[in-house]
Amino acid sequence: MRSETGFDPYLYQRFPTQEERPPEEEEGLRRIWCAPKGWEYLTVVNNNYVGIFYLGTAFLFFLLAGVLALLMRVQLAAPLMEVLPQATYNQVFTMHGTVMMFLFAVPMVEAAGVLLLPQMLAARDLPFPRLSAYAFWAYAVGGLAFFASLFVGLAPDGGWFMYPPYTSKAYSPGINADFWLLGIGFIEISAIAGAIEIIVGVLRTRAPGMSLDKMPIFAWAMLVFAVMIIIAFPSVILATLLLEIERAFNWSFFDAARGGDPVLWQHLFWFFGHPEVYIIFLPAAGMMSMIIPTVARTELVGYRLIVLAMIATGFISFGVWAHHMFTVGLPPMTTGFFSAASMAVSLPAGIQVFSWIATLAIGRPRFNAPGLFVLGSIVIFVTGGLTGVMVALVPFDWQAHDTYFIVAHLHYVLIGGMVFPLFAAMYYWIPMVSSRAMSERLAKWVFGLMFTGMNVAFMPMHLAGLMGMPRRVYTYLPGSGWDMLNLISTVGAFLFAFGVLLFLIDLARNFRMAPGGGNAGNVYGAGSLEWLPTELYSTRSIPVVKSREPLWDDPKISDDVEQGRYFLPRSATGLRETIVTSPLLAEPQYVQIMPGPSVWPLVAAIFTAFFFLALTVQAYMFGLASGVITVMAMLRWLSETDRPIAQDEVDIGAGIMVPTYMTGPRSHGWWAMVILMIVMAMISAMAMFGLAFLWSNQPGFWTPPASLGGGIPIALGYGLVVAAAVSCRWLHRMGKNWAVAPVLLAGLAAPLLTWLDIRMWSAVLAPDASGQGAAVFAILSLQGTVAAIGVLFAAYLGWRSLRGLITPTGNSTLDLACLFIGYCGAQGLVGTIFTRAVGA
Amino acid sequence: MKSWLILLGGFIVWTVHFFGLYLIAEFAPSATLVIALTILCIIADLWLLRWLRAMACSEAFAQWRRSVGMAGAVLSLLAVLWQGLPVMLA
Ligand code: HEM
Ligand SMILES: [Cu+2]
C-alpha cells in the first residue's frame, strides 16, 4: 500500500523546508493559543492545562483513598480494635475500592492520555478539546461530591461491586447505595467522553507519516484502552441504571422471588469489571514500554509483539468475566472454558514482561528514578500475575475466594501493574511540564519505602487468607493466628504511605508548572516526539515522522521543528487548528479548526453533576432544572462549532494544499458520532441480553409477550425513520435543501412510535410485575431516551438550517443528526422485534 | 477496512468463538454445538493464515500489517483450540 488517500508520499521530501519563516508567524501562534489569566483557568480547554488539572485531581483521589486504606489498616492492626465501628468500616472499604478503581485508576490514565497524546503525536491538541474539559469537570465535581458522602455517613457500603440482593432496597434501605449507583454511573459517562476523544485523537491527529507501525506504544495502549472503555463501560452504566430503577420504582431485575436474577447483576458488572482491570493495566504498560527503552538506552525489543499482545489483551479480557463467579454455581461447561480463558489471558501480559526484561538485558540500563520504579513494577506485577494463575484454577479459587488471599492478589496486580508504572511515569514526564525535574536522591528513598512497604503490607495477606481470614471484616478475634500477620501488614502500609509522603514533599519543592515553554526538557534523553520543544501551541511545526524514535534517528529534527521547517508553521486560518490525517498511514487530509476556551463545558459539567446528585437525594424538581440547564449549556457550546471558514483550502507548508472543512465519513465529527452510536448499541445489546438471560433462567415467570403482528407496524415505522435519515443525507448532497424536512419529521416521529409500543406492552404486562416486565420496559425506556435525544438533535438541526448554517458543502451538523436519528430508528426496530420474540 | 480486517482477523475469530461458547453454555448447552463452532473457527483461522501467506507485500507498512495479522491468526488458532479443550476432553 503506497498511499491511503491518494496523497503522494513524495511530497514529504519537500521537508524540512529551507527558506526563513517570517517572525510574526510564531507570534500569531502564541497569540491564538494564549495562556489563561485569573478566572480564565476555569474555561481553558487546551490539553496542556486540562491534562494537568485532570492528573492532579486523580492523584488527589489516590491520596484520599490511601488515607482510607490507612484507617482500615489501623483498625485491623490488632484484634478487637475500636477505631472504626463496623458500619463505618463497611463504608470505608467500599469507598477505598470504589475511589481507587473509578476515581483514581481510570481517570489517572485517561488524564495521562489527554496530556501526553497530543505531544507524542505532534498534534496541536486532541480533536475535541471542549469534550476533554467537560469530561474533566464532570469527573472532578461529581467525584468530590461522591467522596463527600463519607463525611455525612451516607457513603455506600456494599463493596466495590455492589452485589444485589444485599444492595437492594430490602437490605440497603438508606440512600448510601444510591450514591454509588448514580455517582458511578455518572462518572462512567465522563470516562466515555474521554475515550471518544482518545480514539479519534490517536487515529486521526497523528503527525504526517506516522503510520500505525511507527506509532508510539503508549498511543497503541491508549487506543486499545479507549476501545475497551467503549465496549465495557456501557455494561456497568446499564447495570447501575437497572439497579437504581429497581430501588426507586420496584421493577424486579435482580429479585429472584419475582422473576429477576441477582446473577444477572454479576454478569453485567463483571463484563465491565474484568476488562476494567486491563483498562487500568494497558496504559500503564504502554508507559512502561515508553520508559524502558529510554532507561535502557536502546530500542524496545519486540515492538510488533507488544502491539499484538495489547490487542490480544483487549480482546480476551472480554472473554473471562465469569472467573469472578466460580463460586456462584455456574454450569460446569461455562466454568471449564472460563477457567481455560483466564489462564490464557496471562500470555499476552507475559509477552510484554519478557519484552521489557529483554530490552533491559540488551541495553545499558540506568537505575535512575524511572528505572527503579519500572523494575519494581515488573517484580510486583509478576508476583501478582502468578497468584492470578493460581486463582484461575477453579478448585483453588473455591478455597481462596473472599479471603485476604484475593486482597493480596489484587493489590499486587494493581500496584505493580498501575501504581509503580505511574510513579515511573511521573518521574519521567514531569520534566516535560515542569521547569524543574524531581530529585533523584529523594526518589531512591521514595522507591525504597514504597517497594518495601508494598511487600511488607501485602505479602503476609496471602498467608492470612490461606489461614482463613475473610476479606471485608472489620475485626477478628485474638488467637486465630492472624494477629502478627495483620500487625506486619499495617506496618507495611505505613512504610508505603511514608514513601508517598516523601514524594509529595519532593513534588512541592520541585514541581513548577510550565505547560508552555521553559520546561526542564528531555533530561533522560528519550527519542519520541513529546520531547520536541513545545509551547502552548505544542510544537512550532508538525514534523514528518519517518521512524519510531525520530529524536534518536534525526538529530536535527528538534531544531527544524522549532524553526518552522515542517507542516503548519503558522496558523493558516488565524484560528486554532491542527492537521487531521488518515487512520492507517497518517496522510494529511484536512485542517481541523479547533474551538477555543469556553465556559459552557464547565457549566454543563456542573449541572450534570447536580442532576445526578439531585436524583440521589430525591430532589426531583431541582434535578429537572439542572437537566434543562445542562442541555441548554451543551446546545450553546455546540452552536459555536461547525462555522463557515473564509478559506476553502490552505497551504499547510511547502505548498501542500488541504481543505479546511470536511464532512461525511472522513471527518472527525463523524468518527466521534459513530463511536457514540457503538456505546448506545452496547447499552441496548446488554439490555437485550438481560431479557434473554432472565427468560432462560426464570422461565416460570414468563408470560406470552405482546403479539408480533401488533409490533410489525411499529417496526416498519422505525424502518421509515432509518430510510428518511439515509435518504436525507443523500438528497441534501445533491443540492436539495428541503431534504432537511424528512429527517426532522423522522426525529419527531420516533418518540411517538416508542409511545405506541409502550401502550401495547402495558396491555400485556406491568413493569413491576416480573423480571420480564422490568426488562421489557427497560428496553422501551432506553429507546425513549434515545428518541428524546433524537428530538433535541432534530430541533438543533432545524434551528441551524433556519439560520442558514446548513449548506450543501457545510453540512456536518446535518450528517451527525442523520446518523443519530437513523441509529435511533434502527435500535427501535431491533428492540420492537426482539422483546416480542423472547419467549414467544 | 481491509487493513483492519488483516490486523484483527484472528482476534475476531477468537471473539466469535468465546462469545459463542458462552452463549451456547448459557442458552443451549450442548457439546456438539461447541465442537462444531470450534471446528468452524479453526477453519476460519487456517483460511486466514493461507490468505495472508499468499498476500504479496512490498511496502514496509504492508509487510508489518501482514506479520501482525499472521501472528494474530496463529494466536487465535491456539486460543480456540485451548478453549475448546475442556469440552472436547470431558
Ligand atoms: C498501600 C496502599 C493500599 C493499602 C494499604 C490498601 C489496603 C486495602 C485493604 C486493607 C483492603 C481490604 C478491605 C477489606 O476487605 O476489609 C483493600 C481493598 C481494596 N483495595 Fe486497597 N489498598 C491500597 C492501595 C490500593 C490501590 C492502589 C488500589 C487500586 C488501584 C486498591 C484497590 C482496592 C480494591 C478494589 C479493594 C476491594 C474493596 C472491596 O472489597 O470492595 N487499593 N485495600
Ligand atoms: Cu477478572
Q: Say what the pLDDT of residue A638 is.
A: 85
Question: What would the grid cell of residue A536 be?
Answer: 502552548
Inter-chain touch A212–B22, beta carbons under 8 Å:
no
Residue A496 clears pLDDT 70, i.e. is over it = yes
Looking at residue A4, the DSSP 8-state letter turns out to be: S
Nearest CA to ligand 1 atom 23: A69
Q: How many CB pairs under 8 A join A and B?
A: 90
Nearest CA in chain B to A306: B68
Nearest to B3 among A333, A334, A584 (CB): A584
Residues sharing a CB contact under 8 Å with residue A208, sequence separation 6 or more, in sequence order: A12, A542, A544, A545, A567, A579, A581, A586, A587, A588
Closest CA to A223 of A528, A583, A723: A583
Inter-chain touch A1–B3, beta carbons under 8 Å:
yes
Give distance in angstroms: CA of A323 to centre of ligand 2.
Answer: 6
A330 falls in which pLDDT band (50, 70, 90)?
Answer: confident
Binding site membership of A380 for ligand 1 (Cβ less than 6 Å): no
pLDDT, tens digit, 9 for 90 and up, residues A16-47 = 988 888 888 888 888 888 888 888 888 888 88
Inter-chain touch A696–B26, beta carbons under 8 Å:
yes
Residue B5 falls inside a structural domain = no
Residue B54 falls inside a structural domain = yes
Residue B7 falls inside a structural domain = no
Mutation probe of ligand 1 site: the residue of A407, A412, A472 with most atoms within 8 A of C-beta? A407
Nearest to B11 among A315, A333, A585 (CB): A315
- Domain definitions of chain A by residue range: 42-510, 665-837
Binding site membership of A72 for ligand 1 (Cβ less than 6 Å): yes
Residues sharing a CB contact under 8 Å with residue A92, sequence separation 6 or more, in sequence order: A68, A71, A72, A84, A150, A155
Q: Which residues, in sequence order, are bridge partners of residue A591?
A: A579
Min distance A16 CA to chain B CA atoms (Å):
23
Q: Say what the pLDDT of residue A413 is.
A: 94
Min distance B12 CA to chain A CA atoms (Å):
8
**Ligand 2 ion local residues (Cβ < 5 A):** A 274
> What is the C-alpha to C-alpha distance for residues B18 and B20, in angstroms, rounded to an integer?
5
**Nearest atom (ligand 1) to Cα of A98:** 35
> What is the C-alpha to C-alpha distance for residues A587 and A424, in angstroms, rounded to an integer?
33
A793: amino acid identity, one letter? F
pTM: 0.95
**Nearest atom (ligand 1) to Cα of A76:** 10
What's the domain range around B49?
12-89
Match 493489590 to its residue by C-alpha cell: A411
**How far is the CA of B69 from the CAs of A210, A349, A584, A687, B3, in angstroms?**
19, 19, 15, 33, 9
Closest CA to A218 of A355, A104, A116, A107: A116
Q: Say what the pLDDT of residue A291 is.
A: 96
Assigned CATH for A665-837: 1.20.120.80
Nearest CA in chain A to B65: A213
Residue A182 clears pLDDT 80, i.e. is over it = yes
Min distance B38 CA to chain A CA atoms (Å):
12
Inter-chain touch A316–B86, beta carbons under 8 Å:
no
Nearest to B29 among A311, A318, A331 (CB): A331
For the segment A535-543, the average pLDDT, to the nearest whole number, is: 87
Backbone φ and ψ of A470, nearest 5°: -75, 155
Nearest CA in chain A to B81: A340
Give the N- to C-terminal CA distance of chain B in Å, as an integer: 40
Judging by beta carbons within 10 Å of its beta carbon (0-12, 13-18, 19+), is residue A147 exposed, middle or buried? Answer: buried
Question: What would the grid cell of residue A334 be?
Answer: 461455562
> What is the C-alpha to C-alpha distance for residues A714 and A829, in angstroms, rounded to an integer?
8
For the segment A60-75, the average pLDDT, to the nearest whole number, is: 97
Inter-chain touch B3–A312, beta carbons under 8 Å:
no
The answer, yes or no, to whether the previous bond of A262 is cis (omega within 30 of 0) is: no
Residue A239 clears pLDDT 80, i.e. is over it = yes
> What is the C-alpha to C-alpha distance for residues A763 and B15, in angstroms, rounded to an integer?
40
pLDDT, tens digit, 9 for 90 and up, residues A440-451 = 999 999 999 999
Min distance A639 CA to chain B CA atoms (Å):
33
**How far is the CA of A415 from the CAs of A54, A418, A423, in angstroms?**
20, 5, 10
> What is the C-alpha to C-alpha distance for residues A417 and A378, in angstroms, rounded to an integer?
8
For the segment A408-417, the average pLDDT, to the nearest whole number, is: 96
> What is the C-alpha to C-alpha distance for residues A88 and A153, in angstroms, rounded to an integer?
8
Q: Say what the pLDDT of residue A472 is.
A: 96
> What is the C-alpha to C-alpha distance for residues A77 and A94, in angstroms, rounded to an integer?
19
Residue A6 region by backbone torsions, left for phi larger than 0, else alpha for psi between -120 and 50, else beta: left
Inter-chain touch B18–A339, beta carbons under 8 Å:
no
Which residues of chain B lie closer than 8 angstroms to A671, CB-CB?
none
Inter-chain touch B87–A336, beta carbons under 8 Å:
yes
Q: Which residues of A259-278 are buried (b: 16+ CB within 10 A; e: fewer)?
A: bbbbbbbbbbbbbbbbbbbb
Q: Percent of chain A beyond pLDDT 90? A: 70
Dihedral sign (CA A209, A212, A213, A219): positive
Q: Can you tell me the ipTM of this complex?
A: 0.95
Q: Rounded to 5 degrees, what angle do the CA atoms A162, A388, A263 make? A: 30
pLDDT, tens digit, 9 for 90 and up, residues A617-655 = 888 999 999 999 999 999 998 888 777 787 888 888 888
> What is the C-alpha to C-alpha distance for residues A590 and A820, in angstroms, rounded to an integer?
24
Give distance in angstroms: CA of A471 to centre of ligand 1.
Answer: 10
Inter-chain touch A331–B19, beta carbons under 8 Å:
no
Torsion angle of the four alpha carbons A481, A484, A486, A489, in this order, in degrees rounded to the nearest 10: -140
Q: Which residues, in sequence order, are bridge partners of residue A657?
A: A651
Q: What's the mean pLDDT when you consider all of chain A?
A: 92
A1 falls in which pLDDT band (50, 70, 90)?
Answer: low
Which residues of chain B lie closer than 8 angstroms to A690, CB-CB?
none
Question: What would the grid cell of residue A683 be?
Answer: 447499552
Inter-chain touch A337–B27, beta carbons under 8 Å:
no
Q: What is the 3-state secondary structure (H, E, C) of A565-630?
A: CCECCCCCCCCCEEEEECCCCCCEEEEEECCCCCCHHHHHHHHHHHHHHHHHCCCHHHHHHHHHHH
> What is the C-alpha to C-alpha distance for residues A218 and A829, in angstroms, rounded to an integer?
40
Assigned CATH for A42-510: 1.20.210.10
Give distance in angstroms: CA of A373 to centre of ligand 1.
Answer: 20
Binding site membership of A419 for ligand 1 (Cβ less than 6 Å): yes
A562 falls in which pLDDT band (50, 70, 90)?
Answer: confident
Residue B79 falls inside a structural domain = yes
Q: Rounded to 5 degrees, what angle do the CA atoms A299, A11, B57 make? A: 55
The packing angle between helices A47-76 and A106-121, to 10°, is: 150
- Report residue B37 CA to chain centroid gap: 11
Residue A472 region by backbone torsions, left for phi larger than 0, else alpha for psi between -120 and 50, else beta: left
pLDDT, tens digit, 9 for 90 and up, residues A282-321 = 999 999 999 999 999 999 999 999 999 999 999 988 988 8
Binding site membership of A414 for ligand 1 (Cβ less than 6 Å): yes
**Interface residues from chain A to B (CB-CB < 8 Å):** 1-2, 211-213, 304-305, 307-308, 311-312, 315-316, 318-319, 322, 331, 333-334, 336-337, 339-341, 344, 584-585, 692-693, 696
> What is the C-alpha to C-alpha distance for residues B29 and A469, in angstroms, rounded to an integer?
37
Q: Rounded to 5 degrees, what angle do the CA atoms A305, A308, A309 make? A: 85
Give distance in angstroms: CA of A1 to centre of ligand 2.
Answer: 39
pLDDT, tens digit, 9 for 90 and up, residues A788-814 = 999 999 999 999 888 888 877 778 889
Contact (Cβ atoms closer than 8 angstroms) between residue A185 and residue A237: yes
Nearest CA to ligand 1 atom 22: A69
Looking at residue B55, the DSSP 8-state letter turns out to be: -
pLDDT, tens digit, 9 for 90 and up, residues A148-159 = 999 998 999 999
How many residues would you count in chain A? 840
Mutation probe of ligand 1 site: the residue of A96, A101, A415 with most atoms within 8 A of C-beta? A96
Inter-chain touch B3–A308, beta carbons under 8 Å:
no
The answer, yes or no, to whether the previous bond of A713 is cis (omega within 30 of 0) is: no
pLDDT, tens digit, 9 for 90 and up, residues A498-536 = 999 999 999 999 998 877 667 878 888 888 999 988 888
Give me the number of domains chain B comprises. Answer: 1
